[in-house]
């Protein structure tokens, strides 16, 4: 993240003079073409005021104009160990892709030294993409998860991470099959005890049964109970791929559908984030809404693996809580701006090919979904997700000039600016990222 500004502030307190664009908790957006954002000593946003009207003491603001400040992106679904294989295996069936490209990579994390080396690079890459909050899957290996948490703690990113739990199918050849459930639960509980809530809640734990194909009913139920007892999250995948759904219904003949498998495990609820949820029946959708279960929409991944097309407008109309996920490595791009772009194209395709006449999202609605709605899914929207006084200074500085098609064609009104960031996203447009006013290192 190279900066033309001589010194960008690395720690609070500081003030930035910039353009500012943010969704607001009360609805709508705030757009300031020239304003000063002040971060206090504790890393919270103290004030945002149009330039010239800023409170006394903020005259020494670092001027980063014409960069624009946005809330940091919230990525609700990604797989930390898979990042090296991002962009490989387009169009494969999910279960084939897992065997060929993913399990070999995750197996390498049986050596925690691999996690020690790769996790800091991965967090740097997320920050460079503009992501300041991530909800991540690790691998089945507890020592590598410990290393991942240490890396997140040192890096500064806001992260919810979980050890992958698998007791029906696993790539861990060292494990005693008879003890697998107990060991997986014990290791997950220990990690949760050590890391959930660390650094005043910057780091949190998610119990992470991979998906129903690789977990027994007992594993699903016990992990959900452990998450509830600890006040931690519970995350898994649902209804991503037709082959996967058929397999789940074969493995759980007592369940009436895929969502019912998790319902029977008492896994649904407001601390649960289900990735994908592409192919939901009306009953499944209603049940997720009724239980206040949240969903990570991963449009780039869904098309990369040809898994399907999520009927987002139908879900939103039903009242489902949805945020965005990159799903790296099934999604080729770490950027949530990339997820917005593919999501928008997907909605357009649903209109022209699928005959869905519901409204599609505009650029500012995608911004909200990638920030404040993501924070809402995690239940931390009182803390992050928008640039408003009192919230943590989790923000990014974006150089929108690199998204202009030719020099001098810069966008200078909010929807146009956001449209450029989505549809002409540039890999180097995010110039800095902060969590609680602390600058996040990039991938260097």
Shortest Cβ 79–Zn ion spacing (Å): 6
Piece of 15-23, 196-204, 320-328, 374-382 that binds Zn ion (CB under 5 A): 320-328
Of 115 and 238, which has the nearer Cβ to Zn ion?
A: 238
CB-based contacts of 282, cutoff 8 Å, min separation 6: none
Of 327 and 365, which has the nearer Cβ to Zn ion?
A: 327
Shortest Cβ 231–Zn ion spacing (Å): 24
Judge contact between 298 and 275, C-beta under 8 A.
yes
Which residues in 268-307 contact Zn ion (CB under 5 A)? 275
Of 129 and 400, which has the nearer Cβ to Zn ion?
A: 129
Of 38 and 327, which has the nearer Cβ to Zn ion?
A: 327
Size of the site for Zn ion (CB under 5 A): 2
CB-based contacts of 83, cutoff 8 Å, min separation 6: 118, 121, 122, 125, 328, 329, 334
Of 327 and 399, which has the nearer Cβ to Zn ion?
A: 327
Phi and psi torsions of 94, nearest 5°: -50, -50
The region, left, alpha or beta by phi > 0 then psi within -120 to 50, assigned to residue 269 is left
Distance in angstroms (rounded) separating the CA atoms of residues 40 and 43 = 5
One-character DSSP codes across 397-432: EE-GGGGSSSTT----SHHHHHHHHHHT--TT-EEE
Shortest Cβ 420–Zn ion spacing (Å): 29
CA Rg value for the chain: 21
Shortest Cβ 327–Zn ion spacing (Å): 5
Distance in angstroms (rounded) separating the CA atoms of residues 389 and 45 = 5
Piece of 25-33, 251-259, 308-316, 319-327 that binds Zn ion (CB under 5 A): 319-327
Shortest Cβ 123–Zn ion spacing (Å): 18
Judge contact between 210 and 167, C-beta under 8 A.
no
Letters for 4-43 (x = contact with Zn ion by CB under 5 A, - = none) are: ----------------------------------------
Of 46 and 76, which has the nearer Cβ to Zn ion?
A: 76
Piece of 57-65, 206-214, 279-287, 326-334 that binds Zn ion (CB under 5 A): 326-334
Of 17 and 237, which has the nearer Cβ to Zn ion?
A: 237
Distance in angstroms (rounded) separating the CA atoms of residues 277 and 236 = 10
CB-based contacts of 310, cutoff 8 Å, min separation 6: 276, 277, 278, 297, 299, 302, 346
Of 41 and 100, which has the nearer Cβ to Zn ion?
A: 100
Piece of 93-101, 257-265, 327-335, 356-364 that binds Zn ion (CB under 5 A): 327-335
Structure tokens at 307: 């898994």
Letters for 384-423 (x = contact with Zn ion by CB under 5 A, - = none) are: ----------------------------------------
Judge contact between 148 and 113, C-beta under 8 A.
no
Shortest Cβ 275–Zn ion spacing (Å): 5
Return residues touching Zn ion (CB under 5 A): 275, 327
């Amino acid at each position: 993240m190279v900066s033309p500004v001589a010194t960008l502030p690395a720690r609070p307190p500081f003030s930035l003079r910039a353009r500012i664009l943010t969704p607001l908790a009360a609805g709508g957006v705030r757009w300031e073409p020239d304003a000063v954002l002040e971060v206090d000593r504790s890393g919270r946003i103290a004030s945002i005021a149009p330039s010239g009207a800023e409170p006394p003491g903020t005259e020494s603001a670092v001027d980063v104009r014409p960069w624009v400040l946005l809330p940091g992106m919230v990525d609700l679904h990604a797989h930390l160990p898979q990042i090296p294989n991002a962009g490989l295996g387009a169009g494969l069936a999910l279960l084939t892709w897992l065997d060929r490209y993913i399990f070999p990579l995750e197996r390498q994390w049986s050596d925690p030294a691999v996690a020690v080396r790769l996790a800091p690079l991965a967090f740097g890459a997320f920050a460079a993409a503009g992501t300041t909050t991530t909800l991540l899957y690790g691998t089945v290996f507890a020592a590598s998860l410990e290393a991942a948490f240490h890396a997140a703690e040192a890096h500064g990113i806001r992260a919810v991470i979980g050890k992958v739990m698998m007791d029906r199918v696993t790539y861990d050849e060292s494990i005693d099959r008879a003890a697998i459930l107990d060991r997986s639960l014990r290791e997950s509980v220990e990690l949760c005890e050590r890391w959930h809530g660390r650094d005043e809640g910057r780091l949190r734990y998610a119990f992470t049964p991979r998906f129903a194909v690789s977990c027994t009913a007992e594993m699903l139920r016990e992990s959900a109970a452990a998450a509830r007892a600890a006040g931690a999250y519970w995350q898994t995948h649902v209804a991503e791929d037709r082959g996967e759904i058929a397999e789940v219904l074969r493995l759980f003949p007592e369940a009436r559908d895929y969502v019912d498998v998790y319902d029977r495990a008492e896994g649904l609820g407001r601390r649960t984030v289900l990735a994908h949820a592409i192919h939901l029946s009306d009953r499944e959708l209603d049940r997720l809404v009724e239980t206040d279960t949240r969903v990570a929409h991963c449009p780039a991944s869904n098309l990369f693996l040809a898994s399907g097309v999520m009927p987002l407008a139908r879900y939103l109309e039903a009242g489902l809580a949805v945020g965005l996920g990159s799903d790296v490595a099934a999604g080729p791009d770490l950027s949530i701006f990339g997820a917005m772009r593919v999501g928008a194209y997907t909605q357009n395709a649903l209109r022209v090919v699928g005959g869905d006449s519901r409204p599609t999202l505009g650029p500012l609605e995608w911004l909200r979904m990638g920030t404040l709605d993501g924070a809402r899914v995690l239940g931390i929207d009182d803390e992050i997700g928008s640039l408003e006084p009192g919230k943590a200074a989790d923000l990014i500085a974006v150089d929108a000039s690199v998204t202009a098609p030719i020099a001098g064609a810069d966008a200078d009104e909010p929807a146009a600016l956001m449209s450029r960031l989505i549809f002409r996203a540039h890999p180097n447009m995010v110039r800095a990222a902060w969590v609680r006013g602390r600058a996040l290192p990039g991938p260097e």
